[in-house]
Chains A and B, each alone.
Chain A
Amino acid sequence: MKPGQLGQVVRRRLAHAVPVLLVVALATFGLLKLAPGDAVDVLIATGGGGDAALAADLRRAYGLDQPWPAQLAHYLWRLVQLDLGYSFVHNRPVSHLIWERLPVSLLLMASATAFAVGFGIVLGVSAGQTPGGWRDRLILSVGLVLYAMPSFWVGLMLILIFAVKLALFPVGGFETAASDLTGIARVLDIAWHAVLPTVALALLFVSVYLRLMRAGVVEVASADFVRTARAKGVGATRILWAHVARNALLPVVAMVGVQAATLLGGAVVIESVFSLPGLGRLAYDSVLARDLVVLLGLLLTSAVIVIAINTVVDLVVAALDPRVVAR
């Protein structure tokens, strides 16, 4: 990738992101207005009641007595300043709540993506080498079942087998509680806790990537440059990995961007299964507490995360494929 290209890719993504985020913000504002009651009702309900005069005072203080276009302008202006609102349930700014829980979710998403892409490549190449053969059919059937398994159920079954029966991994949690581990020991402890959630979240995506990789391998295998390489006397293994797999990889990497939103949604469920203190847990607790401000903040944050992942994916694709000069 040429140095100027990096800036170009990022700039294009950012230019694209502004209108997208604006529409998401309009949607969250719409949901906020659609919900029965407003922030003052929530505040009074959680604060243990109050009279109409207090409510009116508070509404004036928060600008909720103004017409909705003014409220919308106020809302957008706060968002521009990265102010996602205030959660009266937690008594803390929403952005702090999200910021604290973000690393856990990002770690889970990153490890699941690495697992899914890795296994997707190996299985896809293995299936695509002999299309229609027994290995191909077996791997495709496994992919079909992986796709059909709900991730929360996979999580529970993994807990049943590997935590309850075999006692190889912990049942849940981000790390061993009150263990005072530091440095490398703590990293290993977190990784040990992350194994089952990673697998549970990744299996669905393994099936997506293996099918793409298989299709790519089958297609590229008949390309002229592969025949040329074979004619030159390049070894079969080298042709498979250096010529075929490398080219078949591009759609897989591009798909990681397409799947980003689904991945985040899956992480929400998996965090709840494994009691991980991430964004998913925050979302779950917020639905139970009807803490709409937090949920809408999460919705906006999710959109930003998805855009960020897509930017990274664009950069990786541009680095892998010299033909892709930032479109």
Chain B
Amino acid sequence: MRRLGLGGWVGLSLVLAFVLIAIAAPWLYPGDPQDRVGRALIWPFEDPALPFGTDRLGRDLAAGIAHGTRVSLLVGFAAAAAAITIGVVVGSLAGYLGGLIDDALMRLTDTVQTIPGFVLALALVAVLGAGVGTVILAIAVSSWTGTARIVRAEVSSWRERDLVLACRAMGMGHGEILFRQILPNIAAPVIVLASVVVAVAILVESALSFLGFGDPSLISWGAMVAEGRGLLRRAWYVAAVPGAAIVVVVVAISLAGDALTRALDPRRG
């Protein structure tokens, strides 16, 4: 575990801290974070009880950040889990079965990579309505392609190795070979990729909610930045603080991902 390095420790601790904040938000800041707690536009550090200050309607920005963590992490992890699942299924089917199915699935992957995920997300919002489910679905359907490619490459390289030949000689079924023998061996690159997908998902969610297409009933960092957009001249911190939260969480996830790369792959040091 020494291989994690300073960056890795900082990243993992920050990710853990954000997870704890997300879990504890209802206790840290009970009640609705959209409620008025004081005068409008109190600057950060002006009032020790309101470390990030208040917005145009006197809402506590710190409470918003804490509750917003829930949406960011929920969407980030749920969308990444869905995307990785789709990617692993598509990639392993293509890599293991080969032939026509491989060609068809890879053509599908090419096609999805040709469609800008963000434009697709906007179309899905128009069809299904804004909501946290739409956001997760939109991110999941457009971010599985990288995983599918890597899994396909790894699985097809494992298919011809002695391990798999031995399993087949023992009379093991294809499902068992794929899921119990091959997939555990390629977990490392998939886990590393998962951290990238989580980071991208959090960024995409924030952009969607910035435009006002997030979940209207939930507070989220992107929507908070949008609130501050009209206040740049008078109170720039209203837009700056939630944006900084996004930067910190994404940096933390990237650092943690880099550390996992080193810890899981002894070949790269």
Contacts and interface: CB of A to CB of B under 8 A. Distances in A.
Given A35-B127, A160-B232, A268-B122, A144 B251 contact: yes
Nearest to A17: B114
Interface string B210-241: 11010000000010010011001100100110
A302 B116 contact: yes
B190 interface: no
Contact of A157 (B110, B123, B240, B248): B240
A202 interface: no
- A interface: dominant SS: helix
Interface stretch (A216-224, A257-265, A315-323): A257-265
A269 to B, nearest CB: 5
B157 interface: no
B123 A292 contact: yes
Interface residues of A, number: 48
Given A147-B250, A148-B250, A153 B243 contact: yes
Contacts of A307: 114
A151 interface: yes
Given A152-B210, A156-B229, A299 B120 contact: yes
Given A144-B255, A150-B210, A156-B225, A303 B115 contact: yes
Nearest to A258: B113
A290 interface: yes
A261 B114 contact: yes
Given A145-B251, A150-B210, A269 B123 contact: no
Contact of A160 (B199, B236, B246): B236
Interface string B160-174: 000000000000000
A266 B203 CA distance: 11
Given A287-B213, A306-B116, A35 B126 contact: yes
A144 B254 CA distance: 8
Contacts of B125: 287
A276 interface: no
Given A164-B233, A303-B114, A31 B127 contact: yes
A262 B126 CA distance: 20
A200 interface: no
A159 B232 contact: yes
Contacts of B210: 150, 152-153, 269
Interface string B91-113: 00000000000000001101101
A119 interface: no
B106 to A, nearest CB: 11
Q: Give the interface size class of chain B.
A: 35 or more
Contacts of B254: 144, 147-148
Nearest to A283: B122
Interface in A134-169: 144-145, 147-153, 156-157, 159-160, 164
B233 A152 contact: no
Interface stretch (A18-26, A59-67, A184-192, A244-252): A18-26
Nearest to B118: A265
A23 B243 contact: no
B44 to A, nearest CB: 15
Contacts of B127: 31, 34-35, 292
B207 A298 contact: no
A149 B239 contact: no
A307 B236 CA distance: 40
Nearest to B205: A150
Given A292-B123, A299-B123, A150 B246 contact: yes
9 contacts: A23-B108, A23-B111, A31-B127, A148-B247, A150-B207, A150-B243, A152-B207, A296-B123, A298-B123
Interface of A: 16, 19-20, 23-24, 27-28, 31, 34-35, 144-145, 147-153, 156-157, 159-160, 164, 258, 261-262, 264-266, 268-269, 272, 283-284, 286-287, 290-292, 295-296, 298-299, 302-303, 306-307
